[in-house]
Amino acid sequence: MENPLPSPARPAPPAPPPPEAVAPLMRALAVLRALTAAGGRAAVSDLVRATGLPRATVDRLLSTLGRLGYVRAEGRDAVLAPALLELGNAYLAATGLPDRLGPLADRLADALDESVSLAVPDGDGLRFVHQATRRRAVSLAFRIGDLLPAERGAPGALFAADWAPADWQRWRARRAADPADAGFPAVPPRRPADAAPAGGRRLAADFTARVAAARTAGWSLDDQLIEPGLIAVAMPVRDPAGRTVCAVSVVSHTSRHPAAALPDAVLPRLRATVLAMERALTAPAPAVVADDGRPAAWRRASKRQLGPGFVESVARGLAVLTAFGTGRAALTLSAVAEAAGLPRATARRALITLEHLGYTTGDGGRFRLAPRVLELGFARLSGLTLPDLARPHLTALAERVGESASLAVLTADGADAQPAVQYVIGVLAARIMRVTISPGSRAPAHATAAGRVLLAASPTAGRTARPEHRTAPGPAGRPFLLDRVRADGHALVDDELEPGLRSVAVPVHDGDGRAVAALGVSTHAGDRSPAATRAAVLPALREAAAAVEADLRVAGRYLPVALP
């Protein structure tokens, strides 16, 4: 076993990029990393300082990233946008770990009533790829994509058991350069005594001993290595070739178990789950799932439209990341080029750049995505709610049609209560006479356009609605039926909730096709006829709903998106 205790090494300077590296792609990724480090929002001037790039260069890169949907502008700030999650989704889909092992981790969490995590090795650290969190006052707060030092978690000792001497050398260099773990924002900084040289030597010796114990026992214990009270037991999950591909951890708190008792409490079920996970990894590779990647024609059109504001080499390089996915874990250069819609030489230069930066790895002529892809905003964008996703699209909708816009969900106050809608976001029109919709307010579902489209999409709610609301008379005596609303894909309601108030709404569907909310526009009925209102509002309303749905599909693929 390699001893990590010799005199501390200094980190080697970063290797210069190879001559074939795509400089604009490197700069764009630096901007994304800086924006992620700033919490997902930063003034453009701050990004200039953080990256050391000229202002004009940062502006062009942000324009390109905005066109891709990865960043949006809010005033003078640049903000990470949900579409950026497609890069991390590509890595997670390519590994297959959340899809194959996530359900087993979820069942283990239910059986033990404890939080369960899946983590993969990433350099001399570990990165989370799945979380099954128990909701308690004291609960796990790590996010998918968070990076921890190997020595501050049970999985790290399991991964380090397979380290080569060069891996230990890199670990020593990192510990010497960052004794307080400032480069790992997901964990609390070390105490000054532990960050001091003597404390660092003590921690290194402890880590060496834990690695040796994990190699012998086949499992590892985290006894409050991250923060007081947090404990965990982890076991490795190996592929058919015997390689450790991830570790599964059961996480608890000393208020529930003493650290010494946790292994006895969880190891029997944990071992059984690991065996089931390893069997799942022997299943045939999943079929290739095609994505909605942007074709070369889209990139050329963007270049024509934006001119110098669109850096095509950046779009091409990021398209290489999304060439991977379900059934596309390891690809040849030709396969990457074909999936990304790029010339082979262009794909090769992008792969050289991405491998230099640690986002891809190559072995035997085949390339894979590396866990580091998750550092590109994935953890920062976790925890998004449906209102978070909808807010920028609602704002744009209200500006476009000049009317107030809102997002509503279906709710009821009790088992016998009639369905109601609750408004969760309202964006006011920029006009003197405007409809005001207060977030949190409720209205009878049958009397609102939002309520009707949600009732039409919900067979249960439709059956429980009053008969007169299922067949209420409409204009000119025509029957209003939920089937009609379902067929039309929208509802228009006049003068029912309040005299003079007209509303139009369309459903918002999640990735499984379920209507989870309704997007609506409200206006004064006297402004124009119902037909004119439909013509003026409905196309924009449908486009806004489609934009929310696109963000919801990307954000909800591997992350829970909270619905109000």
Mean pLDDT, the chain, whole residue set: 88
Mean pLDDT confidence for 260-276: 97
Asked whether residue 174 falls in the same domain as residue 147, the answer is yes
**Residue 297 burial class via C-beta count within 10 angstroms: exposed 0-12, middle 13-18, buried 19 and up:** exposed
Helix (H, G, I), strand (E, B) or coil at 153: coil
In a domain, 260, yes or no: yes
Confidence of residue 483 (pLDDT cuts 50, 70, 90): confident
Asked whether residue 53 falls in the same domain as residue 119, the answer is no
Q: How many domains does the chain have?
A: 3
Predicted confidence at residue 407, as pLDDT, reads 95
Confidence of residue 150 (pLDDT cuts 50, 70, 90): very high
Residues of the chain above pLDDT 70, percent: 89
* Stronger pLDDT, 412 or 229, i.e. the higher one: 229
Predicted confidence at residue 495, as pLDDT, reads 72
Chain-centre distance of CA 447, in angstroms? 36
In a domain, 1, yes or no: no
Predicted confidence at residue 473, as pLDDT, reads 46
Predicted confidence at residue 293, as pLDDT, reads 66
CB 422 within 8 A of CB 408: yes
Predicted confidence at residue 26, as pLDDT, reads 97
pLDDT digits (tens, 9 = 90+) for 333-343: 999 999 999 99
The residue written with tokens 């010494």 in the block is 260
Asked whether residue 391 falls in the same domain as residue 495, the answer is yes
Residue 75: is its pLDDT beyond 60?
yes
Predicted confidence at residue 543, as pLDDT, reads 97
* Stronger pLDDT, 504 or 12, i.e. the higher one: 504
Cα–Cα distances in Å, from 259 out to 236, 245, 352, 357, 435? 19, 26, 45, 39, 58
Predicted confidence at residue 167, as pLDDT, reads 95
CB 408 within 8 A of CB 518: yes
Name the pairing type of β-strands 366-369 and 404-411.
unpaired
Predicted confidence at residue 5, as pLDDT, reads 35
CB 317 within 8 A of CB 22: yes
Mean pLDDT confidence for 69-92: 96
Residue 102: is its pLDDT beyond 90?
yes
CA distance 263 to 250: 9
Asked whether residue 370 falls in the same domain as residue 413, the answer is no
Mean pLDDT confidence for 440-469: 75
Q: Of 476, 468, 472, whose CA–CA distance to 484 is shortest?
A: 472
Predicted confidence at residue 431, as pLDDT, reads 53
Asked whether residue 231 falls in the same domain as residue 263, the answer is yes
- CA end-to-end distance (rounded Å), the chain: 52
Asked whether residue 187 falls in the same domain as residue 328, the answer is no
Confidence of residue 432 (pLDDT cuts 50, 70, 90): very low
Chain-centre distance of CA 492, in angstroms? 35
In a domain, 562, yes or no: no
In a domain, 8, yes or no: no
Residue 525: is its pLDDT beyond 90?
no
CA distance 199 to 368: 38
Asked whether residue 319 falls in the same domain as residue 424, the answer is no
* Stronger pLDDT, 158 or 133, i.e. the higher one: 158
Asked whether residue 202 falls in the same domain as residue 264, the answer is yes
Mean pLDDT confidence for 427-433: 62
In a domain, 220, yes or no: yes
Residues of the chain above pLDDT 90, percent: 69
Asked whether residue 207 falls in the same domain as residue 349, the answer is no
Mean pLDDT confidence for 161-185: 93
Residue 172: is its pLDDT beyond 50?
yes
In a domain, 6, yes or no: no
Predicted confidence at residue 524, as pLDDT, reads 82
Phi first, then psi: what are they for 334, rounded to 5°? -65, -40
Mean pLDDT confidence for 76-93: 96
Residue 476: is its pLDDT beyond 50?
no
| Domain final residue, candidates 381, 396, 415 | 381
CA distance 555 to 546: 14
Asked whether residue 300 falls in the same domain as residue 410, the answer is no
* Stronger pLDDT, 20 or 197, i.e. the higher one: 20
Q: Among 349-363, 430-444, 483-497, whose mean pLDDT is lowest?
A: 430-444
Instruction: Provide the CATH number for the domain around residue 212.
Output: 3.30.450.40
CA distance 160 to 164: 9
Confidence of residue 156 (pLDDT cuts 50, 70, 90): very high
| Domain final residue, candidates 253, 280, 307 | 280
Task: Please list the alpha-helical segments (H only) found in 323-408.
Answer: 333-340, 344-357, 378-381, 386-401
Predicted confidence at residue 472, as pLDDT, reads 47
Predicted confidence at residue 48, as pLDDT, reads 97
Mean pLDDT confidence for 429-434: 53
Asked whether residue 191 falls in the same domain as residue 78, the answer is no
- 521: DSSP letter: E
Mean pLDDT confidence for 92-98: 96
Predicted confidence at residue 435, as pLDDT, reads 56
* Stronger pLDDT, 58 or 309, i.e. the higher one: 58
Helix (H, G, I), strand (E, B) or coil at 408: strand
Residue 501: is its pLDDT beyond 90?
no
Residue 454: is its pLDDT beyond 80?
yes
Predicted confidence at residue 413, as pLDDT, reads 59
Q: What tokens appear for 94 in the block?
A: 């390519």
In a domain, 40, yes or no: yes
Residue 9: is its pLDDT beyond 50?
no
Predicted confidence at residue 428, as pLDDT, reads 81
Q: Among 299-313, 463-477, 540-554, whose mean pLDDT is lowest?
A: 463-477
Predicted confidence at residue 453, as pLDDT, reads 94
Asked whether residue 393 falls in the same domain as residue 509, the answer is yes
In a domain, 3, yes or no: no
Confidence of residue 515 (pLDDT cuts 50, 70, 90): very high
Residue 383: other Cβ atoms inside 10 A: 13
Range of the structural domain that residue 118 is part of: 97-280
| Domain final residue, candidates 280, 313, 340 | 280
Predicted confidence at residue 482, as pLDDT, reads 83
CA distance 336 to 352: 13
